[in-house]
Amino acid sequence: MLTTVVIGTCVSIQGNFVKRLSNGLVTVRVGEQLFTGRPVSQAQAA
């Protein structure tokens, strides 16, 4: 599933969902790299 996360204040990364961490952050995969950030809500993404 394609998921968008925000890293810092203005960097958004869209990638394949990997996992949700216990602190609420989400990890996505882009190619070989993993990125962890705050998930973008459905209302913001639409």
Confidence grade of residue 46 (pLDDT, cut at 50, 70, 90): low
Residue 34 structure tokens: 């993993």
In angstroms, the Cα distances linking 45 to 4, 22, 40 are 8, 23, 7
Give me the residues paired with residue 5 across strands.
13, 39
Residue-wise pLDDT for 9-42, tens only, equals 999 999 999 999 999 999 999 999 999 999 998 7
Q: What is the pLDDT of residue 33?
A: 98
Q: What's the pLDDT score for residue 38?
A: 96
Residue 45: pLDDT above 70? no
Q: Is the pTM of this model over 0.95?
A: no
pLDDT of residue 43: 67
Tell me how far apart the alpha carbons of residues 24 and 32 are, in angstroms, rounded to a whole number.
23
Block residue for tokens 């639409």: 46
